[in-house]
Amino acid sequence: MNGLIQDVKFALRQLRKAPGFTITAILTLALGIGANAAIFTLVHAVLLKNLPVVDPKMLVRVGDNDECCINGGAAYKNDYTLFSYDLYTHLRDQIPEFEQLAAMQAGIGYGSLTTRRSNDSSLPKSLRSEMVSGNYFQVFGLTPYAGRLLTPADDVAGAPPGVVMSYQTWQRDYGLDPTVVGSTFLLNTNPVTVVGITPPGFYGDRMTDTPPDFYIPMAMEPQLGPAHPTTILHRSDRSWIYLIGRIKPGTELPSLQAKMGGVLRGFLAQLPTFQRKGMEQNLAQSHVVLVPAGAGIENMQQNTGKGLRLLFIVSALVLLIACANIANLVLVRGMARRAETSIRMALGAQRRRLIRQMLTESVLLSCLGGLAGLVVAYGGTRVLLNMAFPDATDLPIQATPSTVVLAFAFGLSLLTGLIFGIAPAWVTSHSEPAEALRGSNRTTQDRSGWLQRSLVILQAALSLVLLVGAGLMAKSLSNLEGQNFGVKTENRFVAHFSPENAAYKQNQLQSLYDRITQDLHALPGVERVSLSMYTPLEGNNWSEGVQFQGRAEPKVGDEMGASWLRASPEFFDIVGHHVLRGRGITEQDTATSTPIAVVNEAFVKKFFSNGKDPIGAHFGVSGMQSVGDFEIVGVVSDVKYNNVREHTRAMYFRPLLQMAHTKPEDDTRSMYASAIMLQTKGSIDDLESQVRRTLANIDPNLTVSRYDTFQGQIRGQFNQERLIARLTLMFGALALVLASVGLYGVTAYSVARRTPEIGVRMALGANRGSVIAMVLREALMQAGIGLAIGVPVTWICTRFVQSQLYGVAGHDLVVLGGAVLILAGAAFAAGLIPAQRAASTDPVQALRME
């Protein structure tokens, strides 16, 4: 024990005596470990975490896709993930293998609830809700933090309206006020009672940066549902809920899956959609996939998984480079101290004692590096989370690395220290002391030299891979962001609101829209105002299958889909659509005038490829009886609305309040605008609060749920790509720095070792230039071999990121060439410093070193 303390003290003194080595080693470890712990924390929290519920292993999700929000018709690829409420109750009652099967709303809307506590005089807030079946909390086995949770008795028509508030909301907005439980709230102007508070850790059934504030029984769908003011609760042709169930112990998933498929087909077969000709195959192929739901609905996991896994691999490579660096540093140091060790051994020191001393030092170093790594990990996780979820309000992810993560990273650094501490200790203590003592004139062959060089070569190769990866990601992001969306963004703003939450009836909309447009126009500096169902690049999309007048009925499988939205006259100008032919939407397109549509170029290309004139053509969306519903009066330029990686979809635009002749009841929900766009002259101070005030003046229940610049909204589409591009760039840079430090270290060490030789060369006539060239040649040779290995490896690796790239070939020669140049430049810089030091060797001194 005493010996150990003595060893530690001595080791500390040794480390203090070589501050350059110590600091480099600790920094390298800190960055390597910290970056990895941070990434792994994110991966762990997002991809591997179970819901904080009872026995999550027994939870099973019916369906495996990320689909949203309300779907009509057959499921995509006949794989059912979204269900109608009636289909849910059918499955629930027909499948006894589930102890409980719960239903939950697929799309949790932003600000879907205009919320006010009934005895509170402040303005209503915009909060989020999720509709759930009455047994929702029983499936998860949760107990309330306060009051009670929902039960099946709450979820029947006519039951007293009771909702559950989330703990986070209770804490954030109501200061944990106990009187909230049992009090009345006005949700979208409907009075409900808050019956209880969820347990604190519970963040809903899925990982999201915007978890629900209220859990509302499905029975209240007609008042508070996603289709309000219409209802879809009992429409079997509207799929809008997810299913999670708790299976009974011993249930075999494959057979249950097959059984559920059968029950599903039995239900679908009765629906009119599936009785149409040509749907037989769809029906026969309809099925469900059961997946474990311990982590809940894994939409976010599916969306971010690929990127996170990529980052994980990247950071692991960085750790590898860092370990190579540590190995090199420790090796260099061990070798540099050979003479000292030899003298000690010649003086009778025991081999065991010497090895222990060296090990103490490297373990100590690892520990110090590990500690510094903790700091980096904590800070890094926070930074990462902010980068990954910039708009998150209540992200259910802790920004603290778990002990497992830390232990893993710490252990790794310890291992590196041990292995590479033992190697030189072993080599040294087994060398003949006389040999090492004989001096540098007969420099013994440097056994560790090749190992060091291989490590540097490995580092260079890995760095190249990372740099190329970073380059590809950056280029892809800039392609994505830099593409022509067809929009104009300067001085444009987007505000979201919902008249249906403020309980507006359909016949009140005209005057509401007029009033909003008028009042916002009256704000100084506001040039244009539009209302629309949604806006470009906000992630929303409505689409329908269209049928044309004078053409045959489309067959099942024909591509007849078109996206659409309703908008007010100034919308096209604000967004940046140019009217190319005919006209846009005007003030004259009122509820009572002839229903018209304006289409985009992609629509013309898709449906008028025969060269026929689209202007004057008629189409409808409710079968062949509807083909005369809308008349095309204009064509506008393409703007990307939805998927930034795909071509612009065929789109048509309709006035806000015109109703289709056919099935008008299906054409009312869309009359509720949810987006306001503004175009201003120059920048206006505090436009947001002016907009909020203007709406509140019209009706206090008109809350703004989201407000952003148009530019900011578009930027938000690339958050994940940006995160990955930035992180790979960061890691690429880190790898470059580490590899450069490695190369520098090895070169500097080699120069130090060769000082007498360099002195001789200079005494024999070598000038500065030739010495610099000699040292640089060696450094660049290692980098060169690294590149020679790295280029083909990179060539192979880029195939795995190809799917994440946009507009970039995996084998992008510019990126590859750039990365090679950067690496060569870094190697040159790393070699130049020791080379210059070598060139300024004083031959007199060098020759005296004997």
Partner 1 sequence: MIELKNVERSYKTGHTETWVLRRVNLTIRPWEFITIMGPSGAGKSSLLNVLAMLDDQWKGEFDFDGEAVHRMNRKQRADLARRRIGMVFQSYHLLDDLTVAENIDLPLSYKDIPRAERQSLVADTLDRFQIVGKKDLYPHQLSGGQQQLVGIARAMIHTPALLLADEPTGNLQSKQAKEIMEMFRQLNEEGTTIVQVTHSEANAAYGTRIIELRDGWIYSDTAGEVNNTAAEVGQ
Applying CB under 8 A, the residues found at the interface with partner 1 are: 441-443, 756-757, 759-767, 770, 843-844, 847, 850
E strand or H helix that includes residue 514: helix 509-522
Q: Do the strands 561-566 and 651-654 form a parallel or antiparallel pair, or are they unpaired?
A: parallel
Residue 396 or 759 with smaller CB distance to partner 1: 759
Give Cα separations from 173 to 127, 167, 176, 475, 498 (angstroms): 10, 10, 8, 42, 21
Minimum distance from CB of 389 to partner 1 (Å)? 58
Residue 1 or 764 with smaller CB distance to partner 1: 764
Minimum distance from CB of 832 to partner 1 (Å)? 20
Residue 763 or 821 with smaller CB distance to partner 1: 763
What are the residues facing 635 on neighbouring strands?
Answer: 581, 599
Minimum distance from CB of 431 to partner 1 (Å)? 17
Residue 610 CA to chain centroid, in angstroms?
42
Bin 819: left if φ > 0, else alpha if -120 < ψ < 50, else beta.
alpha
Do 402 and 44 meet the contact criterion of CB atoms below 8 Å apart? yes
Minimum distance from CB of 755 to partner 1 (Å)? 12
d(CA 422, CA 418): 6
Residue 580 or 844 with smaller CB distance to partner 1: 844
Taking the CB of residue 6, how many other CB atoms lie within 10 A of it? 12
E strand or H helix that includes residue 27: helix 19-43
d(CA 692, CA 448): 70
| Encoded amino acid at 779, one letter | A
Residue 280 or 842 with smaller CB distance to partner 1: 842
| Rg, C-alpha atoms of the chain | 34
Residue 5 or 764 with smaller CB distance to partner 1: 764
Residue 417 or 759 with smaller CB distance to partner 1: 759
d(CA 679, CA 596): 25
Minimum distance from CB of 426 to partner 1 (Å)? 24
Minimum distance from CB of 757 to partner 1 (Å)? 6
Minimum distance from CB of 732 to partner 1 (Å)? 37
Do 655 and 596 meet the contact criterion of CB atoms below 8 Å apart? yes
Residue 446 or 688 with smaller CB distance to partner 1: 446
Residue 54 or 763 with smaller CB distance to partner 1: 763
Residue 302 or 767 with smaller CB distance to partner 1: 767
List the Cα angle 467/470/476 in 5-degree steps.
140
Minimum distance from CB of 763 to partner 1 (Å)? 5
Minimum distance from CB of 441 to partner 1 (Å)? 5
Residue 252 or 435 with smaller CB distance to partner 1: 435
d(CA 476, CA 470): 10
Residue 627 or 779 with smaller CB distance to partner 1: 779
Minimum distance from CB of 850 to partner 1 (Å)? 5
Do 680 and 529 meet the contact criterion of CB atoms below 8 Å apart? no
d(CA 301, CA 743): 39
* Three-state secondary-structure class, residue 668: coil
DSSP string, 599-634: EEHHHHHHH-TT----TT-EEESSSGGGTTSEEEEE
Minimum distance from CB of 804 to partner 1 (Å)? 48
- Alpha-helical regions (H) of 128-209: 136-140, 167-174
Minimum distance from CB of 753 to partner 1 (Å)? 12
Residue 336 or 847 with smaller CB distance to partner 1: 847
The residue to which tokens 């505000």 are assigned: 495
Minimum distance from CB of 455 to partner 1 (Å)? 22
Minimum distance from CB of 337 to partner 1 (Å)? 21
Residue 199 or 843 with smaller CB distance to partner 1: 843
Minimum distance from CB of 844 to partner 1 (Å)? 5
- The closest of 133, 134, 149, 147 to 202, measured between CA atoms, is 149
Residue 439 or 664 with smaller CB distance to partner 1: 439
Minimum distance from CB of 845 to partner 1 (Å)? 10
Q: How many CA atoms lie within 13 A of 766 on its CB side?
A: 21
Minimum distance from CB of 843 to partner 1 (Å)? 5
How many residues are listed for the chain in this entry?
850
Residue 686 or 850 with smaller CB distance to partner 1: 850
> Which residues make Cβ contacts (< 8 Å) with residue 249, sequence separation at least 6?
58
DSSP string, 239-296: E-EEEEEEEPTT--HHHHHHHHHHHHHHHHTTSHHHHSTT-HHHHHH-B--EEE-TT-
Residue 17 or 442 with smaller CB distance to partner 1: 442
Q: Which two tokens stand for residue 90?
A: 């059918």
Minimum distance from CB of 458 to partner 1 (Å)? 24
Q: Which two tokens stand for residue 845?
A: 């001194």
Residue 393 or 443 with smaller CB distance to partner 1: 443
d(CA 755, CA 768): 14
End-to-end Cα separation, the chain, in angstroms: 41
- The closest of 412, 395, 305, 328 to 35, measured between CA atoms, is 412
Question: Given CA atoms 721, 726, 727, 731 in this order, what sign does their dihedral have?
Answer: positive
Bin 623: left if φ > 0, else alpha if -120 < ψ < 50, else beta.
left
d(CA 256, CA 591): 51
Q: Which two tokens stand for residue 42?
A: 């994110």
